[in-house]
Structure 1
Amino acid sequence: MLDRRRAPRTVLNETGSISVDEHRSLPCIVYDRSLDGVRIALPEAEIVPDRFVLSIDASREILICRAVWRKAEEIGATTDEPETGRAGRPSLRREPAPV
């Protein structure tokens, strides 16, 4: 099978939520993540808009996403540019905002 991924993926299997609009969010599972994308699963994938906000519970990340592909209960999406770490390398995790 041909792997078309531009960057390696990190398996997460973390809980998260997708903001459908300003009043409603849907729980999901973030299966894996790369520097510029995510694969998520949720029962109501068909009602998620093409652009959405994804919150990953464990890392407290909030990502702006754009759906690239959909299957029955999965969505593959690109994310905004990742933040760059201290060493100039992209970081998969964003630091929490200072309080």
Structure 2
Amino acid sequence: MFERRSAPRTRLNETGSISVDEHRSIPCIVYDRSAGGVRVALPDAEIVPDSFILSIDASNEILVCRAMWRKADEIGAATDAREAARPGRLNLRREVEPI
């Protein structure tokens, strides 16, 4: 079988959640992950927007994702490694202009 992935995947089988909007998140299972993508399973994949935020519980990672394919209960998504962040490492300082 021909492999179309640009990077090998690592099986995770970890819990996570997908932020649908500011007020709602959906629990999911992160089946596997590569340097540029992730595969998640959830009951209603069709309600997840094309771009979403994925939180992986075990590693405390937050990933910005873009859906590349869907099934009824799975989503394959591309992640932008430059935008991946751990909550403890976020730079929340704002640049303040001198008065």
Q: TM-score range by the shorter chain?
A: 0.7 to 0.9
TM-score by length of 2: 0.83
TM-score calculated relative to the size of structure 1? 0.83
Matching residue of 1:35: 35
Instruction: Indicate the structure (1 or 2) with the bigger Cα radius of gyration.
Output: 2
Residue identity over aligned pairs, in percent, reads 73
Counterparts in 2 of 1:59-74, with a 5 A limit? 59-74=59-74
Residue matched to 2:23: 23
The structure where helix makes up a greater share of residues is 2
Change (3 A) 1:4 1:49: same
Please say if residues 16 and 28 of structure 2, whose CA atoms lie closer than 8 Å, have aligned partners that are also in contact.
yes
Partner of 1:97: 89
Alpha-carbon contact 2:20-2:52 (below 8 Å) kept: yes
Secondary structure in 2 matching 1:27: strand
Q: What is the SS of the residue equivalent to 2:58?
A: coil
Instruction: Give me the CA root mean square deviation.
Output: 2.0
Q: Structure 2: where are the runs of 5+ without partners?
A: 91-99
Q: Which residue of 2 aligns with 1:11?
A: 11
